[in-house]
Amino acid sequence: MIRRIRDGLLMGVAMFLLSACSKTRSWEEEVLLNTGETIWVKRSATYSYQGGAGNPFDMAYRPDGTPSLEFAYKNKKYHFDEPIGLLVLAISPTGVPVLVGPASSGAWDAVNNYKCTYPFYVQFVPDDSGEKWSWPPAIEPWLYGLSTNLFRSYGDYKKAQSRYTMKDKSLQVFFRDPQLRHSQQIDPSYTGDLCNMKRK
């Protein structure tokens, strides 16, 4: 009985310490849409004190997941909170905002049983509430070639800013890496490593 009480107290203290070590970071991003319009998007992510992937002793505040996203378009509010790294916010030919990210980001494809597509991205389409999002079996061709307009380098808590312009976002390191073309824009030839293995 005493052992159970002790274990329960230790568990409670550990959970308290872990929760006390987490921080929420929020910021705004300027987003240039494919229509030529510019809007501001609100992002928010939770960070906790944890070791690095390659070095568990490299302790720092790192994101627990991908940031949520909120924005308004044509007087309608939208909210997105799926665990996937987004690349593009675009307006469809019918005037509906859509979001696009690599299907394998955060193992989203495995969790949602998303089959290999060509290219290997997922397109999110909102319902009338702007809160729930569905996805077609493959992204639509009008998205091909659109440049990344959402912030991707949100991992460094110490270098956080409260606002990011499109110019700020153009300075992200991945934009200068020729091997990351699929992250710089919606690349119609992108298949992803896992999808390539499944095709063999």
pLDDT 10s digits, 53-102: 666 655 655 555 577 899 999 999 999 998 898 999 999 999 999 999 99
pLDDT at residue 19 greater than cutoff 50: no
Selected residue with higher pLDDT from 160 and 185: 185
Full DSSP string of 35-83: TS-EEEEEEEEEEEEE--SS-TT--EEEESSPPEEEEEETTEEEEE--S
Cα(119)–Cα(190) distance, rounded to whole angstroms? 5
Contact 37/29 with Cβ under 8 angstroms? no
Which pTM does this prediction carry? 0.78
Nearest alpha-carbon partner for 118 in 132, 133, 139: 139
The percentage of residues in the chain with a pLDDT greater than 90, rounded to a whole number, is: 46
| pLDDT number for residue 27 | 87
Of 108 and 15, the structure prediction assigns the larger pLDDT to: 108
Predicted confidence band of residue 40 (pLDDT cuts 50, 70, 90): very high
Both tokens of 156, joined, read 């460094």
What is the C-alpha to C-alpha distance for residues 180 and 152, in angstroms, rounded to an integer?
Answer: 13
